[in-house]
Structure 1
Amino acid sequence: MKALFATLILSALVCTLWADKRPNIVFILVDDLGHGDVGFNGSTYYETPNIDRLANRGLIIENAYMYPTCSPSRTAIATGKQSFRTGVYTVPVLERGDDQVSIFSRWTVGEEHIMYSQPLAEAGYKSIHLGKWHLVGPYPEEELNGDWPRKEKLSQPDPWDYSWAEKHKKEYVKYYPEGRGYLKNIGGTYRGDPALEVGGYKGETGGYWAPFNNPFIPEKNPEDKWLTDYLTTEAIKFMDEYKEGPFFINLHYYTVHAPVRGRSEELVEKYLNKPGDPESGQGMQEGNRRRHTAEYATMIESLDDNVGRIVNFLEENGLRENTLIVFTSDNGWNAGINNRMRGKKGYIWEGGIRVPAFVNWPGKIKARRTQTPVSGLDLFPTFMDVAGIDYTDPNLDGDSITGLFNDEPKNLRNRPLFWHLASEFRNPTCSIIRKNDMKLIQFLATGDLELYDLKADPKEEHNLASEKPEIAARLLKELKAWRKANHVPLPPNAVVGN
C-alpha cells in the first residue's frame, strides 16, 4: 500500500512538472529485432552506433519483455491490456491444433479497447503512425460478428490479393490509426510484413524496395526507394510540420521482419567479409545462410542510419531537449541469431520474449542500465504519465515506469510479470510468471512446470522445478491466484485450474 501511494504521489508530481510544456514523444518499435541484435547489448557483428549512442546516454532496460509474437505484443502495447482481455493471443494464421487445444486468437482490436493514441490526441498531441499496424484483421466485420470462441482459426488472403483494401480505407477506418487519434497512417495495414506483391516473401523486392505495393502508402514510387528510408522521411516531414508541438511519432518499422533483403550489394559484401562472433553465433554461418546473415545485418545498419536521421532532425531544430525517445522491439529475434539465450520468436523462453529497449530524454533520465523488469504493457501508462494526462482504466495491466527514469522504485523492482498464451504456436499453451529473477512456466494441457533462475542460468538450461519445489509452489500459487482473480480463460484441454 505504501509503495502504491508513493507511486501515485510520484505520478502527480510528474504530471505537474511536465504538463506545462508537454514533451514530444518518438516511439520506435522495430519488428523482430532480437535482444542481442544491437551493440548496446553486446553484438560485435551487427553495427548500431547511432542506436548505441542514444541507449548509452539514456536508460537501458536490460530485462524488457514482450509476448513471443507480434500481434499480442502490439495489442498489449497499444491498449495496455493483457492478451486475455483482448483475446489476441498470437498471430491468428500461425496457430496450431484444433479448438480443444487453442482458444483461437482474435485479430481485430475492438473499439471498446482504447489505445494510447486516443487520450494523447484529446490532450492536443499531433500524432502519426508509420509502418506496421497489425491491429486489425483482413475481414473485421466477419471476425467481430462471428461466434467466440471460434471453431477454426482466422485466415488471410494472399499478399497480392487487394480485394480487402477498399473496405478497409472506407468502412473500417475506425480500426485504423485515423480512427484511433492519429492524423495520418503511412503504411499500416492488417498484414504483419511488407511483402504485398506477387510472390510475397519470394517476390523480388519483398516489399522493402519501391515501387511499394502497400495500399496505405500514397506514393508508389517515391524518391526514397528503400522502405525504412521512406518511413523515416515521412516521420521527419510530420515533425517539421508540427514542430511547435507536442507531437507523437508512432514509428513502427517493418524492418527487420522477413523477408530479408540487402540494403545494397556493397553493404552485403562488407558483412560477408566481416569476422563473426563465436559466442553469439552472429556472422558465423556458411554458404547461402551466410549471405542471408549479411543481408540481415544491412537491414540493421539501415535501421541505425535512420534512427540517426531522426535524432539529427530533432537536434537541428532545437527539439531534442523536449523529446522522449523510446526504442524497443515487439518480440525476440527471428531472422538473426543469438546463442546467449534459449529460443527465438514464437517461444516463451528468453530468446522469444526478451527484447532490446531503452528510453532517452536529455536531462530527464539518468544514464545507466537497469535490471528492473519492464513489460510492453507499461508503455501506455508511461506515455500518459510523461504527457501529464490523468487517465484511469482499471483494466490497464501495466505500470508507468517514469519512476525508473532516475531511481529504482521497489514497486517496480519487486512486482511480478505475467503472460498467458491460450493459443498454441511454437510452444504448447501456458501461463508464465517472472519475479525476482525466477521464471515459472506452467503448461496448461499437462500441468508440467519449468522453473529457471534467470540470473544464474540466462540460457534456461536447468529446470529447477523439482530441485526447488518451495519456490515453484510459491510462484505457482501466485500465478494461479492471478488467473483466478482475472477470470483468465483456459483452453478446453487444460488440466490446470484457476
Structure 2
Amino acid sequence: MRLLALLLLLVLAVPAQADQPPNILLIMADDVGVECLGSYGGTSYPTPQLDRLAETGTRFTHCYSMAVCHPTRITLMTGRYPFRFGARWGDFPNDVADSTIGPLMQRAGYATAVAGKWQIAQLRDNPRHPAQLGFDEWSLFGWHEGPRYWQPLIWQNGRIRDDVADRYGPDVYADFLIDFMTQHRNGPFFAYFPMALCHDVTDDLDAPVPFVPGKDRYESYAEMMAQMDRVVGRLVDALDRLGLREETLIIFTTDNGTASRSIAGVRDGKLYREPVVSRRGDEEIPGGKGTLKDTGTNVPLIVNRPGHVPAGAVRGDLVDFSDFLPTLADVAGFKLPANVPYDGHSFAACLQEAGEGTRTWAFAEHRGKAFVRDRRFKLYDNGRFYDVQADPKEKNPISPENDSPAASRARARLQEALKSTGWHENRKN
C-alpha cells in the first residue's frame, strides 16, 4: 500500500505534458528570397540545415511578406496590415501592443523571449520596448544604433552588453535563445528569432562598422547565407539535446526577398556594394527586395515538428504575414481578442495532412502601393493585372478586354478583395 501511495504521488507530481501546448520557435531570417534555399530549388548557396527541416517538415510555396523588413515585422506582430496604423519608418503602433503576439502568448502561459534584430524602435530611446510588447527577456540590436555582427551593440534586458566585443552577433543571439529554451525546458516557451542574417551591415553610422576579423571587408551574401544556415542548425541541435524536438513547433520564414546589392567593404572612405544574383535551376535571379514583385515578397515558409507536422509535404496554400498571429493562437490554444479586427487567417489546419487553408487572397504593401493576389493572378491597387504564373516577371499586364474567362473571374474576385481591405479609403501612408 505504501508503494502504491508513493507511485500515486509521483504521478500527480508530474506535469500533464500531453495536455500542454507545444513550445514555439519562430525564426525569421532577413533578406532571403525563396530562390536562395536548396529546398526551393536554389543552387547558389548550400543550406543543409534548412533543407533538412523542409525534408522532415512542411514547406509552403505561396507565403508573401511585405517588400521590406519594418512593415513585415509590424504585420507579423500585430496580425494586421501596416496601413491600418499609418506606420512610418521606425514607428510601431504601441497603442495596440496589448493585442500583439507577446502579451497574448504571455497570457496563454508561455515564457517569451526575442533575440536578434528588433528594428521597430530605437532601444536607446526606450530600452524596455520589448517588455512593453510582451517579451520577458530579450537580446537585440535596435535600429541602426551600432554593429550587428562584429563588436555588436546588443541591448539585453534593458542594458547594453559589455562582454561581446570579441563575439559574432548572430551567435550571441543564438546562445541567448538556447539558454532561454534550456531554462524553460519544461515549457511552454515562445522563442522569437528575427535574425540579423542575411542583411548587410549598417550603413548610416558616423564610421563604418568593423570588418570580419583579420580581413579588410565584410561577409559576402554567400558567406552570410552559410552563417544563417549554420545558426539555424545550432538552435535545432539544441532542441535535440534538450529532448524537445517533438514538443517544439519550429517555424522558419524570412522578412522579404533578397536584396539586390550587399555592402562589401570600404573604398576611398566610402562603403561600396556588390550585386546579389542567385541561381534557381537554370535561371539567374537578381534580388528584388523593395519591390512588390515575387522576388521582393515571395518568401520561404517551413514548419517542422516531428510526429505532428507532415514530413516532406509541400503546400500551395496562400499565406501572408498577418496570418502568423492567428496561427500561433490556434497552436497555443488561446482565443484572439474579439474586439480587434485582425486581418490574418490561421494556417494551422495546413499543418495536418488533410487540412486546408482558408485564405483565398494575399496582400502586400510598400510605399503607398499594394497588391492582392491568388496563386495565379495578381492585381495592383492601380488596376494593373497579371497572370504571374505565366508571367512571373510581370512584363505583360492584362487589360480587361483581353481577359480569358479565368482571368475575368479572378480580376473580379481580387477587385472585391482589395475593396474589402479598405485600402483606398483608409491608408494613411
CA distance in 1, matches of 2:67, 2:18: 35
After TM superposition, give the deviation of residue 337 of structure 1 in Å.
2.5
CA distance in 2, matches of 1:253, 1:486: 30
Could you tell me which residue of structure 1 aligns to residue 150 of structure 2? 209
Q: Please show how residues 99-114 of structure 1 align to structure 2 within 5 Å.
A: 107-113=91-97, 114=99
Q: Does 1:369 align with 2:309?
A: no
Are the aligned partners of 1:262 and 1:296 in contact in 2 as well (CA < 8 Å)?
no
Secondary structure of 1:228's match?
A: helix
Amino acid at match of 2:153: N
Amino acid at match of 2:325: F
Could you tell me which residue of structure 2 aligns to residue 177 of structure 1? 130
Q: Please show how residues 436-455 of structure 1 align to structure 2 within 5 Å.
A: 436-443=375-382, 448-454=383-389
Could you tell me which residue of structure 1 aligns to residue 36 of structure 2? 37
Could you tell me which residue of structure 1 aligns to residue 351 of structure 2? 405
CA distance in 2, matches of 1:295, 1:223: 21
Q: Please show how residues 166-245 of structure 1 align to structure 2 within 5 Å.
A: 167-169=125-127, 173=128, 176-189=129-142, 191=143, 196-197=145-146, 206-210=147-151, 212-216=152-156, 218-222=160-164, 225-245=167-187
Amino acid at match of 1:242: H
CA deviation string 1:115-150 (max 9, x = no partner): 1111110111111110112223x4xxxxxxxxxxxx
After TM superposition, give the deviation of residue 389 of structure 1 in Å.
1.0
Could you tell me which residue of structure 2 aligns to residue 327 of structure 1? 252
Change (3 A) 1:19 1:430: farther
Q: Please show how residues 51-200 of structure 1 align to structure 2 within 5 Å.
A: 51-88=50-87, 92=89, 107-113=91-97, 114-136=99-121, 138=122, 165=124, 167-169=125-127, 173=128, 176-189=129-142, 191=143, 196-197=145-146
Secondary structure of 1:72's match?
A: helix
After TM superposition, give the deviation of residue 33 of structure 1 in Å.
1.2
CA distance in 1, matches of 2:357, 2:191: 29
After TM superposition, give the deviation of residue 355 of structure 1 in Å.
0.6
Change (3 A) 1:342 1:218: closer
Secondary structure of 2:177's match?
A: helix
After TM superposition, give the deviation of residue 418 of structure 1 in Å.
2.4
Amino acid at match of 1:487: G
CA distance in 1, matches of 2:80, 2:18: 25
Change (3 A) 1:491 1:240: closer
Amino acid at match of 2:353: D
CA distance in 1, matches of 2:247, 2:73: 26
Change (3 A) 1:247 1:418: same
Could you tell me which residue of structure 2 aligns to residue 382 of structure 1? 327
After TM superposition, give the deviation of residue 475 of structure 1 in Å.
4.2
CA deviation string 1:421-450 (max 9, x = no partner): 4x3xxxxx433121242112232xxxx513
CA distance in 1, matches of 2:213, 2:69: 27
Are the aligned partners of 1:340 and 1:459 in contact in 2 as well (CA < 8 Å)?
no
Could you tell me which residue of structure 2 aligns to residue 313 of structure 1? 238
Secondary structure of 1:187's match?
A: strand
Could you tell me which residue of structure 2 aligns to residue 302 of structure 1? 227
Could you tell me which residue of structure 2 aligns to residue 426 of structure 1? none
Are the aligned partners of 1:263 and 1:295 in contact in 2 as well (CA < 8 Å)?
no
CA distance in 2, matches of 1:381, 1:109: 18
Q: Does 1:481 align with 2:425?
A: no
After TM superposition, give the deviation of residue 186 of structure 1 in Å.
0.8
Which is richer in strand?
2
Amino acid at match of 2:126: H
Are the aligned partners of 2:385 and 2:397 in contact in 1 as well (CA < 8 Å)?
yes
CA deviation string 1:398-417 (max 9, x = no partner): 111111112354553x6112
After TM superposition, give the deviation of residue 252 of structure 1 in Å.
0.9
Q: Does 1:395 align with 2:320?
A: no
After TM superposition, give the deviation of residue 343 of structure 1 in Å.
6.2
Could you tell me which residue of structure 2 aligns to residue 433 of structure 1? 372
CA distance in 1, matches of 2:211, 2:399: 44
CA distance in 2, matches of 1:411, 1:235: 31
Secondary structure of 2:35's match?
A: coil
Amino acid at match of 1:463: P
Could you tell me which residue of structure 2 aligns to residue 464 of structure 1? 398
Amino acid at match of 2:323: D
Are the aligned partners of 1:80 and 1:380 in contact in 2 as well (CA < 8 Å)?
yes
Secondary structure of 1:112's match?
A: helix
Secondary structure of 1:391's match?
A: coil
Secondary structure of 2:84's match?
A: helix
Amino acid at match of 2:54: A
Could you tell me which residue of structure 1 aligns to residue 269 of structure 2? none
Are the aligned partners of 1:262 and 1:299 in contact in 2 as well (CA < 8 Å)?
no
TM-score norm. by structure 1 comes to 0.69
Could you tell me which residue of structure 2 aligns to residue 285 of structure 1? none
Secondary structure of 1:168's match?
A: coil
Gaps of 5+ in 1: 1-16, 93-105, 139-163, 198-205, 269-290, 424-428
CA distance in 1, matches of 2:310, 2:399: 38
CA deviation string 1:355-396 (max 9, x = no partner): 111000111111211122211111101111111112244511
Are the aligned partners of 1:442 and 1:450 in contact in 2 as well (CA < 8 Å)?
no
Are the aligned partners of 2:36 and 2:43 in contact in 1 as well (CA < 8 Å)?
no
Q: Does 1:355 align with 2:299?
A: yes
Change (3 A) 1:491 1:476: farther
Secondary structure of 1:357's match?
A: strand
After TM superposition, give the deviation of residue 489 of structure 1 in Å.
4.3
Change (3 A) 1:265 1:441: farther
Change (3 A) 1:110 1:246: same
CA distance in 1, matches of 2:166, 2:176: 10
Are the aligned partners of 1:59 and 1:405 in contact in 2 as well (CA < 8 Å)?
yes
After TM superposition, give the deviation of residue 26 of structure 1 in Å.
0.4
What is the percentage of aligned positions where both structures have the same residue? 28
Are the aligned partners of 2:350 and 2:357 in contact in 1 as well (CA < 8 Å)?
no
Bigger mean CA deviation after superposition, 474-483 or 229-238: 474-483
Change (3 A) 1:475 1:188: farther
CA deviation string 1:320-373 (max 9, x = no partner): 110000001000000432456686111011000001110001111112111222
Gaps of 5+ in 2: 1-15, 203-209, 263-275
